[in-house]
């Protein structure tokens, strides 16, 4: 069977699996998961064409819309003259890391453990352990120790509540009418 036709036929099932069981789907397509990983939202379009080049360590949290792109399609216009031209590299996300909503991590990047990648960051280079990484292109903003100190000072102290209780607490804290 033609591979494109087969993908078309299996799309609905894969998309549903990626939405309901995003980590299971990521494993099935070849993402190397080393421990417990949490993916919010669907993982269907998260891992590009080479998911086997992406490695996620223990206690990694990935927010909605993040993408991992281990290849560089920019060389395609030059393949007519240089057919062998290709750029790709593995991506590794260290343990205890949060990847923010809409972040893009590009080829050859390693993120050290205990890091936070900000929403919509475009990560084009590697970063060592313990940093807050944000921007386009991403840069080191501060250490996770500095962030944690600030977070403790500003905490609403409701992180341990179950989901519905937390929603009620948010509404009460921010003065929104509770039904």
pLDDT score, position 21: 95
CB 88 within 8 A of CB 104: no
**C-alpha span between 53 and 62 (Å, rounded):** 17
CB 46 within 8 A of CB 26: yes
For residue 76, give both structure tokens.
Answer: 């395609």
**C-alpha span between 53 and 116 (Å, rounded):** 21
Q: At what angle do helices 22-29 and 3-20 cross, to 10 degrees?
A: 150
**C-alpha span between 106 and 54 (Å, rounded):** 10
3-class SS of residue 5: helix
What is the gyration radius of the CA atoms in the chain, in angstroms?
19
pLDDT score, position 116: 98
pLDDT score, position 177: 82
Sheet holding 91-93, edge to edge: 32-34, 54-57, 91-93, 110-111
**C-alpha span between 110 and 135 (Å, rounded):** 17
Q: What count of other Cβ atoms lies within 10 Å of the Cβ of residue 29?
A: 17
Q: Please, what sign has the CA dihedral across residues 54, 76, 86, 122?
A: negative
Active site residues: 71
Mean pLDDT by 10 residues, the chain (179 residues): 76 86 96 98 93 98 98 95 96 98 98 98 97 98 96 95 94 85
């Amino acid at each position: 069977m033609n591979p494109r036709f087969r993908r078309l036929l299996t799309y609905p099932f894969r998309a549903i699996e990626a939405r309901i069981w995003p980590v299971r789907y990521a494993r099935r397509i070849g993402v190397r998961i080393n421990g417990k990983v949490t993916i919010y939202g669907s993982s269907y379009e998260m891992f590009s064409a080479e998911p086997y080049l992406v490695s996620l360590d223990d206690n990694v949290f990935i927010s909605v819309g993040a993408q991992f792109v281990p290849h560089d399609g920019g060389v395609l216009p030059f393949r007519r003259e240089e057919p062998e031209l290709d750029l790709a590299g593995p991506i590794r996300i260290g343990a205890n890391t949060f990847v923010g909503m809409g972040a893009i991590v590009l080829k050859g990047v390693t993120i050290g453990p205990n890091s936070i990648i900000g929403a919509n960051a475009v990560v084009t280079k590697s970063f060592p352990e313990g940093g807050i990484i944000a921007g386009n292109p991403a840069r080191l903003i501060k250490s996770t120790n500095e962030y944690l100190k600030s977070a403790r000072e500003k905490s609403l102290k409701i992180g341990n509540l179950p989901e519905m209780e937390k929603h009620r607490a948010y509404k009460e804290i921010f003065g929104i009418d509770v039904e």
